[in-house]
Amino acid sequence: MSQTMNPAAALTSSAAVLNPEIMLYTRLRKSPYFWKSREHGVAMYSVYNHTYHPRHYGDPVGEYWSLLNGVTIWDVGVERQVEISGPDAFAFTNMLVPRDLSKCKVGQCKYVFITAPDGGIINDPVLLRLEENRFWLSLADSDVELWALGLAHAGGWNVEIKEIDVAPIQIQGPKSRELMIDLFGKSILDLPYYYLNHYTLNGMEVVVSRTGYTAEIGYEIYLYNADHDAGKLWDTVWQAGEPHGLRPVGPCHIRRIEAGMLAYGCDITRDTNPMEVGYDYKWMVDVDQESDFIGKAALKRIRDEGISRIMCGVEIDGDPLGSYNDGSMIDRFAVYSGDGGKVGEVTSACYSPRLERNIGLAMLDIGHSELGTKVGIVTPGGPRGGVVVPKPFIDPRKETPKG
């Protein structure tokens, strides 16, 4: 790896600031829960969907253990909700995503990709079907509303597309059931994995789904009239949660990397197609369905011709990396083969406290993706050894979140 370079090593100037601040001001958006999460001591922000995103409250590893053993609350108001409704809503939304939505019932949720004509991934939201012709896209970090508006206008679709005043919070962890029973009653336990239902909580209209971005048991509470009622919902949940040890957290990237879960902008971008992420395309991308969708021809060609790279799991030697969520991974880590040629990049990496080793997701050339392949990885601390391993690292059949 003699030709490799670590940009962080160039920070030798006396003027360099190790951890520059991010400014809080008026141009960036705030989650409806922004001030409530600040009351609880948010220590770091990033920006997601043009919105300040609480990353952690001072101890991301402590938050990880609370997620594994207790119950947590996470402000995910950054997941902007784009609603698609109207007479053509089903046909339009089915054209937008590679999954066959004829298999998505009213009251069901689906994890979906939104793809471009070349098959590249534009977003990977959770889709909620509230009515026959009414859908929410709970967005990852990209401007899907503008994409959908442009498509609808150009195609003359009879749909209404708008960002709505609905904001979710996540209640996650093995003790989330007890808290949700206190809030909604025992019938909440009848809600199946990846389904939703409508409730009234303390006078507020909400939708509850059995979903989350943690790979643990959990729920999301989607609040209507969020700009007005966000503080009331937060306080209602907090008061009910205190006896259960409820803890505010940010996104637990240690747990999602353990689970092999993707982060848009980190692991996948417009330059990534669904065949490359290592999921079984037969459930995420149905190129044989009767209906057409954007990117279908490209993805069928990619399926038939094969891919040149794929997302893999890697273990990385050396001292513990950070939690990822603490700003310890500014850039992707270059990956090299034994002969010094670059063969890919680690897109997310962290130290797993319960596995007691460094783990990561890496997009690697197919020729270097076989399990057990030895690679070299350039981290901020210098070159290290690595090996290709199976992913997910824990709970490969997702039995934990299914409960």
Task: Could you list the residues known to form a binding site for substrate, using ranges.
Answer: 220
Cβ neighbours around 7 below 10 Å, total: 10
3-class state of residue 370 by DSSP = coil
Burial class (CB in 10 A: 0-12, 13-18, 19+), 24: exposed
Residue 403 to residue 395: CA distance in whole angstroms:
12
**DSSP alpha helices (H): ranges in 123-175?**
144-155
Q: What is the DSSP letter of 14?
A: T
Nearest to 168 by CA among 129, 113, 207: 207
Calculate the dihedral angle through the C-alpha atoms of 148, 151, 154, 156, rounding to the nearest 10 degrees.
-80
Whether 128 contacts 207, CB under 8 Å:
yes
DSSP 237: H
* Distance from C-alpha of 370 to C-alpha of 388, rounded to nearest angstrom: 7
Contact 135, 148 (CB under 8 A): no
Binding residues, by number, are 220
Report d(CA 85, CA 328) in Å as an integer: 41
Prior bond of 248 cis (ω within 30°): no
**Under DSSP, is residue 378 helix (H, G, I), strand (E, B) or coil?**
strand
Residue 316 contacts residue 374 (beta carbons within 8 Å): no
Cis preceding-peptide flag for 392 (omega within 30 of 0): yes
The answer to whether the CB of 361 falls within 8 A of the CB of 313 is yes
Residue type, 163: E
Helix ranges (DSSP H) in 222-367 = 226-241, 253-258, 281-284, 296-305
- Other C-beta atoms within 10 Å of 198: how many? 12
Please state, in angstroms and rounded to a whole number, the distance separating the CA atoms of residues 105 and 130: 9
Gap between the Cα atoms of 94 and 102, Å rounded: 8
